[in-house]
Structures are given as C-alpha cells and as structure tokens.
Structure 1
C-alpha cells in the first residue's frame, strides 16, 4: 500500500491494527519510514496513572485563555451552576465535540497555553467514554484526578489542576489541526499511549506503520518467549504469540 492509498483508508478500521501494539513498536515503525521523532509527544504529557493504554482516531478541540473575567456569584445555587451561567453568556463551542466522538475516538485538546484550569474532570470525561471514546489527551490540566483514577478513565494530561473553566479558558474550534507536546495532531490521525508515553501517527502512513509495528511486536514476543522458557517463567499474554497471530489473521 502506498502513502497515497493510505490517505483513503478508514481510520476507524486502521486503529484495530494498532490496538495490540506497544508505543515502542509504533515508534519503530515510524522510524522505519524515516519519520524520526515525528509524532513523539513530549514526556511532559503523560497518562494520569500507570496501566492506561489506548489507540484511537483523533477528534480535536482548540482552546485559548479567556479574556473575560467571571463575575461574582450571589448564591450557592449560582456557584453550583457556574458553568451554565458562563456558557449561557459566552457560548460553549466544546459542545460540538459530541457530534464527532464515536466508538474508537481519542479526544485531543490543545489548551492554548492557558494557566491552571481543570478543563477535564471526572464527570465530563465520562461523557467522552459514554460516546465510545477510548481516550482523552490534553496539554493542560485535569481535576478530580482521584475519581478519574478510580473510574479508570483513560486520560493523559500535562498536570493535575483544581480550578474550573469560567473566566479562565474558552473553546474556540473543533476538528482542526492542533499542537500537543511538540506533535501535530489532525482530525483522523491515529493517537496512542501506554506507560512509555504518547505518539501520533499521521493517517497517510498509518497502514504502513501498523504493518511494521506488528512484525516488531511479534519478533519481540517470540524472543521474550524463549527468554521466559530459559528462565522457567510461566507464559503470560505478553508472550502468547499464537493469540497475537490469530488476532491479526482475523483482521486480514
């Protein structure tokens, strides 16, 4: 398959070829095409907790720091409904994100160098999951992080935060190219993470990268299986070569 052919692939089908792969396998695949360091997201942006792994299709959101202050709120009820008051007055373009998230999507949010603001929290992140999203990536902050971990919400962030949106940040555009940790992310690109970090695969080369990454993974599994045997270690899923070969055979 040529790069030109890759442009016309369905990214939601291609992502299935990435699902078993490690980020390391995919980075090797990119290197094999001469894409050295292309798509490598800064290690400043990390999975919130160990064990998060996902591969999905980028759905993007671009935000900027707000240039309008939030006004004082008069009652406790107003404080509870602060987001609603803010969005009623200034709008909320992030709502249109829901029109694009589907099974296998990764929401990628550029926070536009805004300061500490917990744009993603335990409740709205579940909205992405409910729509079929497999991950959230942001170069900003998340809050309610204890609950995000308890829920096992697959989210990668620059840092943990405390504060909320009103008066701090505005969503301005969806489904546009964004920059995350030194990597360009466009709608339809493949985005993945595991404990090693994050990588973005341009959709034009995604099929080739997946093919290379598959062979890197299988070769490593075979080698590690021999090491397990030499050491008398019981086999686990990371050296189950037959199961992995069967998975890829089903994809065709």
Structure 2
C-alpha cells in the first residue's frame, strides 16, 4: 500500500496560485509506527503539478465564494458538467453543525486483516500532514459497525486548524466536537472505540466517499443537504455555473413573490434545462 506525505511547507501567508501536491511516498509494509520515511526507501513525485487559478489568485478566495452557496447549487453545476460528485447519506452529526468547504486531506481505514497499522496513530499522522483550512476526508467504505473518528483525533483536527471532517462511516464523541465547534459529517454515530476494530490504510491517497472519487486537494463541501466533491481541475468552472444556478432560482422566487404564475416563472427560465450541458453551436 502506498502512503503519501506532503513535504513540510515553508512559511507563507496563503496557498498561492498552486495547490500543494508535492508528496513523499513510501510503502506501508507492517506496523505504521515502524514505517518512517527515514527507514524506508523514498522517492519524490510531483503530482497534479501546475494547477493554476485564473479568475481567483488564491484558493482562499474561491473557498469564500463557495461558502456563500449551497451543496444543492453545486450539485446542479456538477450535473451540468456531467461529473459524479454527490455522495449520498453523509450528513451533519448535529443540528447547527457548520458548513465546510476546503481542500481534501484524505485518509483510508481498512479491516484489521489488511494492515497492522494503528488506526489512531495513522489518523493522527494524516491530520498532522494536513494544512490549516483542509478538510479531513476519511474513507471507511461506509462501515456502519466500526468507529472511524474519535475525540483525540477530533481535538487534533481542531488544534491543527483543519476545517472539519467528512467520513464515509460513523463517528463517536459528538459532544466534544460540538464543544470545539468542529464540523463533522458522517453516516451515523457509535459509542465504541476505533482501537483494534480496524486498521490504517494510508493518507494523501485517492479515496472514495460513497463511491465518489476524492483526490488530495479536490474541493469538498458539506452543509445540511449533504456532501459534494468538486474535482480540483473543475473548481473554477463549477463555481461559475453554481452561481448561475443560484441566481436562476432566486429569479424564480422573486417572480413568484411578485405575483407571477409559478409555472410560468419556472418555464420562463427553462428551469428543467438548467442542469443540461449547453448545446454545441
């Protein structure tokens, strides 16, 4: 199994025009704590190099715009782009849980027989590899029986200033996250410990949320409606379309408020075609 580490970032005020995808990779062949980079042959690889932003000079500006939108609007934009980015069944773990938008810091949990790596130590390593503003994304294959995320890792997530956590699985220690104001989205809640019930499968790797691909640095967004995944190479185009979709719906509401027949208001803006790709020519 391949685990990827980001090179330690130097001091900077923002993320600049490129997302940080320089990684250090090494093989995980036994207990995670014994698999340090200095003990295993390593090689450096630059992946997804050269992602430039045009209208937005930095990632923070794009995130700020997405924060003004809803996952429903983004889902419509992804439909128009014919992108599969809407995993189902992952929701906020309590009423009032804050919205999350940020680059994915990915990790994977696997059955005990597939790895001997500690899920707690591995999860802490994954959080430590993240950057402020990142969103921890945990792929546990939708496991509803075994915990994926607990209070120690949750506190570390908060302490390291990650934006929150999205889990294809279940979590515990929800009251602690509420006290920290740490947004956590998952499929449900359990009370049992993660220890000895699963193993760590790696971080900084491609994972899935409900069958939807998530790569390190893809934008992920969660609110009361659920989760969307925005491929990094489509983030700007999706943002433009998302704003168009929101504006169209606002026009319909304003027309109805002004006394227009709701059906006429709906048909006037060709609402049913809003998520269809533009016709060529």
1:31 and 2:75 equivalent?
A: no
Give me the whole-angstrom Cα distance separating, in 2, the residues matched to 1:64 and 1:148: 24
Between stretches 133-142 and 119-128, larger displacement belongs to 119-128
1:198 and 2:227 equivalent?
A: yes
1:41 and 2:87 equivalent?
A: yes
SS in structure 2 at match of 1:61: strand
Aligned residue in 1 for 2:153 = 124
Give me the whole-angstrom Cα distance separating, in 2, the residues matched to 1:226 and 1:5: 46
Aligned residue in 2 for 1:67 = 113
Aligned residue in 1 for 2:270 = none
Q: Deviations over 1:28-50 (max 9, x none)?
A: 11122232xx111122x221123
What is the RMSD computed on CA atoms of the aligned residues?
3.0
SS in structure 2 at match of 1:34: coil
Check 1:125–1:5 CA distance in 2 against 1; reply closer, same or farther (3 A cut). closer
Check 1:201–1:163 CA distance in 2 against 1; reply closer, same or farther (3 A cut). same
Aligned residue in 1 for 2:14 = none
Q: Deviations over 1:193-214 (max 9, x none)?
A: 1111111011111100001112
Unaligned runs of 5+ in 1: 71-85, 231-252
Give me the whole-angstrom Cα distance separating, in 2, the residues matched to 1:194 and 1:133: 16
Give me the whole-angstrom Cα distance separating, in 2, the residues matched to 1:215 and 1:5: 29
- 1:1-252 matches, within 5 Å, as 7-9=51-53, 11-35=59-83, 38-43=84-89, 45-52=90-97, 53-67=99-113, 92-112=121-141, 114=143, 116-221=145-250, 223-224=252-253
Give me the whole-angstrom Cα distance separating, in 1, the residues matched to 2:74 and 2:188: 25
Unaligned runs of 5+ in 2: 1-47, 260-281
Alpha carbons 2:150, 2:194 under 8 Å: kept = no
Between stretches 179-188 and 220-229, larger displacement belongs to 220-229
Give me the whole-angstrom Cα distance separating, in 1, the residues matched to 2:50 and 2:74: 16
Check 1:122–1:165 CA distance in 2 against 1; reply closer, same or farther (3 A cut). closer
Structure 1 length-normalised TM = 0.70
Check 1:228–1:120 CA distance in 2 against 1; reply closer, same or farther (3 A cut). farther
